């Protein structure tokens, strides 16, 4: 069971009232095994509505946790039973999908780890959530949400943390680090000291071959799995912030002689020949163009969920979607219920992802086999931008 509700937590040394699940801030790590069925009752202990979205999991549409498109908001005191199969292994997370810029920023999120049927050979498996929070002069969660929060780069925190599931490692041991960015708006440009490692998966999906990791860009919602050998204290640094946190090292054991292993790929759908095309133009924000609808941000001239879907296709259709950023800010576009491939400028298919970062003034094509029937959201995962209109949806029949 997951019970969202009020919790007391200590952030930056200051005790305060926030939100969490099952009395814990943030929510507890949920773990299951690939191929299993997940059954989870969400019992709403908030004074407000609740919804839980299983970010990155390819679940049936009515289990996706999105109001308007897939289910009604769970009222206070009521519950909803989520139930779905787990075809994919990897690093995922769950979070509130109701007034999420507010509820997630207060702590309604947690890791969701699906173990491989055959786990890679590592000594330790550590989850690290990179989270930031905006606090006032007293160090207490800042309730103020001025218009600037929504119109520019979002609400960036002034307290940064690396919430790790382990506080110690041994030099020489092989560890798997599962990085998750549940921050509402912040993009990290990470450097990791103390680990001689490689990237083995992005957004839960294994890479064909482990890849060197000089720097890791992690936008809101994105995940990155690394496997590596510990060489000292593991320190997480952001290009434009001081240390985010560290995992202390001690002792010494001999390093493995084996190379970093690749993970077993997840079963991905294949194109069936039917194709569709669409373009999403990101608009608005400070200094941006005008458009219809309620908010600052727009996609294809509409702010907020449009009445008609961006695409309405039959199951199995391969969609090529151009994401064009005509704004002065970066955006990370997240698609529900599927993973897509990023395409390089020459059209070559790259990594599988469920969120892709498109820089200001840039464009990227993605390719997705839409094999999961239902109505699926496609939105900016900078949650302040989503709240202010940057969302659309796809219908798969």
Q: What is the CB neighbour count within 10 angstroms for residue 40? A: 18
Q: Which of 34, 379, 382, 393 binds ligand C2O (CB under 6 A)?
A: 379
Nearer to ligand C2O, 339 or 381 (CB): 381
Question: Among ligand C2O, Cu ion, none, what binds residue 331 when CB lies within 5 to 8 Å by partner kind?
Answer: Cu ion
Nearer to ligand C2O, 53 or 186 (CB): 53
Which residues partner with 321 through β-bridges?
278, 366
Task: Measure CA 108 to chain center.
Answer: 13
Contact between 304 and 313 under an 8 Å Cβ cutoff? The reply is no
x/- string (CB under 6 A) for ligand C2O, residues 219-258? --x-------------------------------------
Contact between 309 and 393 under an 8 Å Cβ cutoff? The reply is yes
Q: Which of residues 301-340 bind ligand C2O (CB under 6 A)?
A: 334, 336
Check whether the bond before 26 is cis (ω within 30° of 0).
yes
**Smallest Cα–Cα separation from 352: which of 329, 368, 336?**
368
Contacts of 2 (CB under 8 A, 6+ apart): 21, 22, 27, 30, 40, 41, 42, 43, 52, 94
Nearer to ligand C2O, 192 or 335 (CB): 335
Nearer to ligand C2O, 236 or 393 (CB): 393
Reported residue count of the chain is 397
- To the nearest whole angstrom, how small is the minimum distance from the Cβ of residue 379 to ligand C2O? 6
Question: Among ligand C2O, Cu ion, none, what binds residue 226 when CB lies within 5 to 8 Å by partner kind?
Answer: none
**Smallest Cα–Cα separation from 343: which of 277, 273, 272, 269?**
277
Nearer to ligand C2O, 336 or 353 (CB): 336
**Smallest Cα–Cα separation from 155: which of 163, 167, 146?**
146
DSSP state for residue 62 in the 8-state scheme: G
Read off φ and ψ for residue 316, nearest 5 degrees. Answer: 100, -10
Question: Among Cu ion, ligand C2O, none, what binds residue 178 when CB lies within 5 to 8 Å by partner kind?
Answer: none
Asked if 186 is part of the footprint of Cu ion (rule: CB under 5 A), the reply reads no
Cα 234 to Cα 249: distance, rounded to the nearest angstrom: 7
Question: Among ligand C2O, Cu ion, none, what binds residue 155 when CB lies within 5 to 8 Å by partner kind?
Answer: none
Q: Which of 164, 313, 380, 387 binds Cu ion (CB under 5 A)?
A: 380
Nearer to ligand C2O, 61 or 170 (CB): 61
- To the nearest whole angstrom, how small is the minimum distance from the Cβ of residue 272 to ligand C2O? 27
- To the nearest whole angstrom, how small is the minimum distance from the Cβ of residue 254 to ligand C2O? 41
Instruction: Tabulate helix, strand, coil % of the chain (nearest 5).
Output: 5, 50, 45
Query: Among the candidate windows 76-84, 269-277, 278-286, 374-382, which touches ligand C2O by CB under 6 A?
Result: 374-382
**Residues forming the site for Cu ion (CB under 5 A):** 331, 380, 382, 385
**Residues forming the site for ligand C2O (CB under 6 A):** 53, 55, 95, 97, 221, 334, 336, 377, 379, 381
């Amino acid at each position: 069971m997951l019970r969202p509700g009020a919790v007391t937590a200590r952030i930056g040394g200051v005790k305060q009232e926030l939100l969490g699940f099952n009395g814990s801030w943030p929510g507890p790590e949920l773990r299951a095994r690939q191929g299993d069925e997940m059954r989870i009752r969400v019992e709403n202990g908030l004074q407000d509505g609740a919804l839980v979205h299983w970010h990155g999991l390819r679940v049936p549409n009515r289990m996706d946790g999105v109001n308007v498109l897939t289910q009604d908001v769970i009222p206070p005191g009521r519950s909803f039973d989520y139930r779905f199969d787990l075809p994919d292994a990897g690093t995922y997370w769950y979070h509130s999908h109701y007034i999420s810029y507010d509820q997630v920023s207060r702590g309604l999120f947690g890791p969701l780890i699906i173990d491989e049927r055959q786990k890679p050979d590592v000594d330790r498996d550590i989850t690290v959530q990179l989270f930031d929070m905006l606090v006032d002069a007293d160090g207490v969660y800042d309730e103020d949400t001025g218009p600037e929060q929504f119109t520019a780069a979002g609400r960036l925190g002034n307290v940064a943390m690396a919430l790790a599931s382990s506080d110690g490692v041994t030099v020489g041991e092989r560890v798997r680090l599962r990085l998750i960015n549940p921050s509402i708006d912040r993009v990290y440009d990470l450097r990791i000291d103390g680990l001689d490692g490689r990237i083995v998966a992005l957004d839960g999906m294994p890479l064909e071959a482990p890849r060197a990791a000089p720097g890791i860009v992690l936008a809101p919602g994105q995940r990155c799995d690394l496997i590596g050998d510990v060489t000292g204290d593991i320190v997480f640094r952001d290009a434009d912030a001081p240390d985010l946190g560290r995992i202390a090292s001690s002792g010494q054991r001999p390093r493995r002689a084996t190379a970093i292993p690749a993970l077993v790929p997840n079963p991905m759908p294949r194109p069936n020949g039917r194709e569709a095309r669409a373009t999403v133009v990101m608009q608005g924000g400070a200094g941006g163009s005008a458009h219809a609808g309620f908010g600052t941000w727009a996609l294809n001239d509409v702010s907020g969920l449009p009445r008609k879907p961006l695409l309405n296709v039959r199951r199995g259709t391969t969609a090529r979607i151009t994401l064009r950023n005509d704004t002065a800010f970066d955006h990370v576009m997240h698609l529900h219920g599927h993973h897509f491939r990023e395409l390089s400028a020459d059209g070559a298919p790259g990594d599988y992802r469920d969120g892709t970062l498109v820089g200001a003034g840039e464009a990227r094509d993605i390719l997705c086999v839409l094999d999961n029937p239902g109505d699926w959201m496609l939105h900016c995962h900078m949650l302040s931008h989503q709240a202010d209109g940057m969302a659309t949806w796809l219908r798969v029949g």
